[in-house]
Amino acid sequence: MAVPVNTDAGRPLADRMRPRSIDEFVGQAHVLATGKPLRQAVEAGALHSLILWGPPGTGKTTLARMIAQRADAEFIALSAVMAGVKDVRAAVERAQATRSATGRRTVLFLDEVHRFSKSQQDTFLPYLEDGTLIFIGATTENPSFELVSALLSRARVYVLKSLTAADLRVLLERAVTDPERGLGQESLDVEPDALDVLCTAADGDGRLSLNMLEIAADLAIDVAGRRTITRDIAVEVASGGRRRFDKGGEQFYDQISALHKAVRGTDPDAALYWFCRMIDGGCDPHYLARRIVRMATEDVGLADPRALQMALDAWGAYDRLGSPEGELALANAVVYIACAPKSNAVYAGFGEAMADVEKFGTLDVPLRFRNAPTKLMKELGYGSGYRYAHAEPDAYATGERYLPDELPDRRYYRPVARGLELRIGEALARLREKK
């Protein structure tokens, strides 16, 4: 059943321009193209519980409404921000009454479902089991982490993607020219560059792009007798916006992961890009400073000990300068560490040594390595047989073993053949060859 045309100009433009059919959907071809399972299900009116996971403004709510309408099902929309268990129970009662009176099924749409606690999510599981409800959840967070496994097992997850700049342009051009739901009756002129500005500022969010277009239309000026959205107006409307960055959410962790991996992969350009993405998104520079220190110790290590000092100096410089000047010091550290020779030898050795400490427990320190400050301790053999390394050739006690007697021989630290560790490895090899 097609969505009826609504020409109510009092509603926000983004609401008026919601797609009325799958063919009007912009983007999401990976799930809505001809032959795709979700499109087939929608067109057939086949209802099944599902989770729509994607960034804001990608059409999750619209798609949920469309699914319910095509299946001629009752549609109940709740927001997890404002709703609670009481609201879910009221929806269940309404669904039961509808089914009893008309035989129609009910779709319960829960926006931002990740904001429901685990116990709250459990409340509607029985009603999915007995068919009282068809559940559609919308979330911007990874369902694997935010939703209970029982719910995930009963709902298919569909991933929606951010709209591309080309998608957003189609959306905006349609809104400008549509005489029924859009701005077509206003006879607006729009400078081509103005739409480009709005598409960039929207950052993949269709709803945001339409909201900005509506504001820009209100600010349109007279140019040669025509109301025109100029590039300057678009820049003004778009100013102050931030790219998508959900501190503490998946976007946050995906970006810091990309930054760390670019540094590890010796790609200073990508590392600088992801660093700037996080700064632009509002990430606390102190958090980035801590992560840069971690990169220096984990991925560079002794291949270039200057990397750690560089990271610490950059952190200190930021503390002294603040933003935005101090951010350049952090950027210097990011680029330096990205270009530095890489070694995780100490990182790996540390992990292996800690594993042995846990595995073997509290092994005794060999007597020869124990201090003997008292007569009794000397009589017990403390320090007996200790070889003072500085008194031996090359300050190396050939053949000495410093591990606990009960612990098998271990080589935790295995220097790589890069940077300073190349020389460290060669020096250790020469000493170990001595007889």
SS3 359: helix
Residue 248 in this model has a pLDDT that exceeds 60? no
Position 243 scores a pLDDT of 55
Nearest to 160 by CA among 204, 114, 202, 198: 204
Query: pLDDT band at residue 349, thresholds of 50, 70 and 90?
Result: very high
pLDDT tens digits for range 194-205: 999 999 888 888
Tell whether omega for the bond before 324 is within 30 degrees of 0, i.e. cis: yes
Query: pLDDT band at residue 250, thresholds of 50, 70 and 90?
Result: low
Query: At a CB cut-off of 8 Å and minimum separation 6, what does 172 contact?
Result: 195, 198, 199, 209, 210, 213
pLDDT above 70 coverage of the chain, percent: 95
The mean of the pLDDT values for the chain is 88
Query: pLDDT band at residue 3, thresholds of 50, 70 and 90?
Result: very low
H or E stretch covering 50: strand 50-53
pLDDT tens digits for range 34-69: 888 888 888 887 778 999 998 888 999 999 998 888
Residue 7 in this model has a pLDDT that exceeds 50? no
Higher pLDDT, residue 254 or 8: 254
Residue 237 in this model has a pLDDT that exceeds 70? yes
Query: pLDDT band at residue 240, thresholds of 50, 70 and 90?
Result: low
pLDDT tens digits for range 70-108: 888 899 999 988 888 889 899 999 999 999 999 899 999
Domains belonging to the chain, first-starting first, are: 28-159 (3.40.50.300), 165-238 (1.10.8.60), 250-339 (1.20.272.10), 361-432 (1.10.3710)
